[in-house]
Amino acid sequence: MNIHLLLQMASEAMGYREAVVCGNMRLTFEELGEAAKSVAAKLKTGEKLGYLAEGHPAFPAALFGAALAGTPFVSLNYRLSDEQLAAQIARITPAQFITDTSTKAEGLTLMSPEASIIGPAFDGEAPNEDGAIAVELFTSGTTGEPKSAVLRHSNLMAYIFGTVEFMSAEEDEAALLTVPPYHIAGIAAVLSSTYAGRRMVQLPSFTPEAWINLARKENVTNAFLVPTMLQRIVDYAGDKLDLPHMRNIAYGGGKMPRQTIEAAMALLPHVNFTNAYGLTETSATICMLSPDDHREAFTSDDPAIKRRLGSAGIPIPTIELQIRSEEGAICAAEETGLVWVRGDQVSGEYKGLGSQLDDEGWFLTKDRGFVDSGGYLFIDGRADDVIVRGGENISPGEIEDVLRSHTAIKDVAAVAVADTEWGETVGIAIVCKSEVSDAELCDLVRANLRSSRVPSVIKRMDELPYNETGKLLRRVIRDGFA
């Protein structure tokens, strides 16, 4: 199995269709097929292909090109600090990187997105190697050291075969791609759109205005958004949003505030909304709340149905899902526990850590949640403590490390605080040894990390709660902010 097959089929059966649009660049599926061959031809044996850039036609070409050359595609977050990036790159080399930055490291060759997709074509068939790795994506780990999730060709192909019909897109369909290439939703969008034959319209830098304008200009019919993006679009639109061609909007990557989805549905009554719940480790979507479910919940007076607008939906046909207690017992409906899933698309594997699947193939998502009597999944929050701010995963550890470096700080914990705009933001609980202002602490975080890590709330405490074995009780702190 090799994901390159998706592009090969698309370029053979509908090569004339437009595949990808970015600014003034437009490639058909046939041309994208050639671009992927040009990327593949540049890779030497044993070299991985890194991608450290915004959305560009080189992204789909590289994803498929690496597969054709039989090497993993590794997409990195260009928003990371230089230090974090250097640490991740060191774990990937030897590699060639497609990037427009001047990153430097040993064993690393760089090429620009523009240069990567031209030149001689790879001559040969995509390898069909058992268990070969297609994609490696770094996740945000609870301890702060990011884990590299491994997605095999067989996982991604199981996802596509389970959710997309070949050439099922109408000729006029176009998907607006705003999720960055280092996010699993960005990878999934390329695979799905290619197999369905849907034009991909790339928007590298999201602003609500740019998104709306591009959707209108390119007659976009489909889009995927993280909740924060949808909220910003709704805020920008005010009481009128004119998107006559839009048919389907899927969302995921974080908790959708009820007010946001209701406002969006009211603004765009002709649009089908789908909530897609999934993880990097599950090759994207494993549960869906369908457009019909949205409309039923939106208009129902029954509290049990109405509530489903906040649900992650039901498992797709190729996925099994169970809620289990901490002790492993299967939970009854409405009983909160840990979310476990099983299916061929579930990798549940990290580099260096191996497979995290249990003996029967079940994977613990580390999300907590419950199902209602109809089987609809409700996610309560993450069992681990990652803060998800606008779809971006933030590890509390890195913020705590920076704050701990301040002489006035005795103890610190960063936790998620519910937020209407971002889903969650960073709240910190501190124990001080001497006087220090909130502004000084915020400046310290801003100077060392990204601005998204800057706390929105700071709470001063006499001591932080720990359990008897010395484990910090983050849940207690989190509840203190609620």
Partner 1 sequence: MGVVFKPGVKLSSTVCKTQIMVLRVPAVELDISCGGAPMQIGDPAELGDMSGENSGTMVGKRYTDADETMEFLCTRGGDGTLAIAGYVIDIKAAKKLPSSD
Measuring CA to CA, which residue among 384, 364, 388 is closest to residue 282? 364
Among 1, 19, 229, 399, binds partner 1 (CB under 8 A): 1
222 binds partner 1 (CB under 8 A): yes
Q: How far is the CB of 372 from partner 1 (least distance, A)?
A: 20
How large is the C-alpha radius of gyration of the chain?
22
Is residue 155 close enough to count as binding partner 1 by CB under 8 A? no
Residue among 52 and 160 whose Cβ is closer to partner 1? 160
Structure tokens given for 372: 């209602």
317 binds partner 1 (CB under 8 A): yes
Return the number of other C-beta atoms located less than 10 Å from residue 440's C-beta.
11
CA 276 remoteness from chain centre = 11
Closer by beta carbon to partner 1, 188 or else 203? 188
Phi, then psi, of 384 in degrees rounded to 5: -85, -175
Contact 91, 148 (CB under 8 A): yes
Which of 114, 165, 171, 334 binds partner 1 (CB under 8 A)? It is: 165
Write out the DSSP string of 401-428.
HHHHTSTTEEEEEEEEEEETTTEEEEEE
Tell me how far, at minimum, the Cβ of 289 lies from partner 1, in Å: 9
Please report whether residue 298 would count as binding partner 1 according to CB under 8 A. no
Binding flag, residue 219, partner 1 (CB under 8 A): no
Length of the chain: 482
Indicate whether 316 belongs to the interface with partner 1 (CB under 8 A): yes
Token pair recorded at residue 38: 């040009």
Among 99, 148, 155, 192, binds partner 1 (CB under 8 A): 192
- CB crowding 306-340: b at 16 or more within 10 Å, else e: eebbbbbbbbbebbebebeeeeeeebeeeeebbbb
| Closer residue to partner 1, CB minimum distance, 62 or 175 | 175
Nearer to partner 1 (CB atom), residue 153 or residue 368: 153
2 binding partner 1? (CB under 8 A)? yes
**Interacting residue with partner 1 among 272, 300, 322, 448 (CB under 8 A):** 272
Site for partner 1 in 424-463 (CB under 8 A): none
Identified binder of partner 1 from the candidate list 103, 112, 207, 290, rule CB under 8 A: 290
422 contacts partner 1 (rule: CB under 8 A): no
Closest separation in Å from C-beta 475 to partner 1: 31
Applying CB under 8 A, the span of 111-119, 282-290, 324-332, 361-369 interacting with partner 1 comes to 282-290
Helix/strand/coil for 197: coil
Q: Per rule CB under 8 A, is residue 166 in the interface with partner 1? A: yes
Distance between CA atoms of 210 and 218, rounded to whole angstroms?
12
Q: How far is the CB of 248 from partner 1 (least distance, A)?
A: 5
Strands 284-289 and 314-315 come out as antiparallel
By C-beta, is 165 or 438 nearer to partner 1? 165
Cis peptide preceding 455, ω within 30 of 0: no
Total residues at the site for partner 1 (CB under 8 A)? 38
Residues 366-405 that bind partner 1 (CB under 8 A): none
Sheet holding 377-382, edge to edge: 320-324, 337-342, 363-371, 377-382
Binding of residue 269 to partner 1 (CB under 8 A): no
Angle at alpha carbon of residue 64, lines to 61 and 65, rounded to 5°: 70
CB neighbourhood size of 269 (10 A): 8
Q: Based on CB atoms, which residue is closest to partner 1, 207 or 248? A: 248
189 binds partner 1 (CB under 8 A): yes
Of 66 and 445, nearer to partner 1 (C-beta) is: 66
Instruction: Report the distance separating Cα 135 and Cα 354, nearest Å.
Output: 15
3-42: contacts with partner 1 (CB under 8 A): 5, 8-9, 12-13
365 binds partner 1 (CB under 8 A): no
Environment class of 270 (CB within 10 Å of its CB; exposed 0-12, middle 13-18, buried 19+): exposed
In the complex, the residues that contact partner 1 under the rule CB under 8 A are: 1-2, 5, 8-9, 12-13, 128, 130, 153-154, 161, 163-167, 175, 185, 188-189, 192, 196, 222, 224, 248, 250, 252, 272, 274, 276, 284-285, 288, 290-291, 316-317
